[in-house]
Amino acid sequence: MENLETPFDADKQLIIAEVRRFVDREVIPVAHQLEHDDNYPIELIEKLKQLGIFSATIPEAYGGLGFDFTTYVQVVEELSRGWMSLAGIVNTHVLVAYMIAAQGTEEQRQRFLPLLAEGDKRGGLCISEANAGSDVQAITMTAVRDGEDYIINGAKLWVTNGVHAGIFAVLVRTDPNAQPAHRGMSVFLVEKGTPGLTVSRTFEKLGYKGVETAELVFDAVRVPAVQLLGGSEGAGFKHAMSGLEVGRINVAARAVGLAQAAFNDAIRYAQQRATFGKPIAQHQAIQLKLADMATKIEAARLLLQKAARKKDRGERCDLEAGMAKLFASEMCQEVTLDALRIHGGFGYTKEFNVERYYRDAPFMLVGEGTSEIQRLVIARQLLEQYKI
């Protein structure tokens, strides 16, 4: 299907084409088995490192490729077309790298970004807690100053890359009495192996397999003050929300890529499967589904590209990112279900990839903020724009 977004320059087109070839040759042939075995894709991760995917958005001055987000979301689409879990491993990493590049001190950028660009140390984001998911300001994890260090105590849930990440961006309370609450929050960069940091458990999931989702416990974890993101307390909520703008754009890209995979399989199967003397693609009922699926995917892609371009301009884009994430994730759920229906009984079996797409799609509805939260974000921005 033709992409309608503004054409990229030749170098970026070559990179996207290379990722597309990688997905076709290296990912799609093994994704089905890796997903059903729920195995961490060590070999694919090594190949992603060689392609430079983990350095994609890191500035060239720190060893990265320096992609803009308009290019990056195309890469995410392609990875998700092959296996959505791969894009999840990359997403959390990119979020942490972005927060360091955009909000960190120069010392932090020079210390952490080259390590992240190599891909050997990957990033993990620690925001949610048992009683603080969508309500980020309800977190209870604390960091208390102790000389030249801070002591962090608490636990974080739903940490993608929780087992295999090497550098975690951790949202904490540095001033529990601050009003409003977000003014007392800060982000720390905590390295794997720091005494007191442990993985207490990982979660078995409906889909989104092969990538770990973990609970991390911080028991008197001592972190040097120089690892306070940005070097000053109180900006953590802003740092986290800026990172989540990137995360929501990424989830929208994942949803588009996954839906595209479902559509590709469905339109291929519809031309191979015959009923009543002709391919089911010649039946009007199937044609209507295919038309709606393709239209929804293209609409979501355009919303995604608009959000990415605004982020590239350095502008606030929570409205656009929220719209893209909301529409794309809901669209993905609808398209994967239609793909399953087009496959009929075979769509419900593990012989075809559509059952995987159908299990992976719900993650996009809740990851990086539920659809309901996106609607609230969108509504607040609209009321501000159309204020009487």
Show which residues are catalytic: 368
Handedness of CA 256, 262, 263, 265 (dihedral sign): positive
Do 139 and 171 form a contact (C-beta atoms < 8 A)? yes
Distance, CA of 257 to chain centre? 12
Query: How would you class 23 by CB atoms within 10 Å of its CB: exposed for 0-12, middle for 13-18, buried for 19 or more?
Result: buried
The first and second tokens of residue 296, run together, are 């929804």
The first and second tokens of residue 269, run together, are 């199967």
Contacts of 235 (CB under 8 A, 6+ apart): 103, 186, 187, 229
Do 347 and 354 form a contact (C-beta atoms < 8 A)? yes
| Strand partners of residue 189 | 169
Q: Return the closest-CA partner of residue 249 out of 13, 21, 75, 53.
A: 75
Q: Return the closest-CA partner of residue 182 out of 240, 103, 221, 232.
A: 240
**Between helices 10-22 and 42-51, what is the axis angle to 10°?**
160
Q: Could you give the C-alpha distances from 218 to 100, 175, 197, 287, in angstroms and in order?
A: 21, 18, 5, 54
Do 350 and 33 form a contact (C-beta atoms < 8 A)? no
Tell me how far apart the alpha carbons of residues 41 and 26 are, in angstroms, rounded to a whole number.
11
**Between helices 354-366 and 318-343, what is the axis angle to 10°?**
160
Q: Could you give the C-alpha distances from 104 to 1, 28, 281, 315, in angstroms and in order?
A: 40, 37, 53, 18
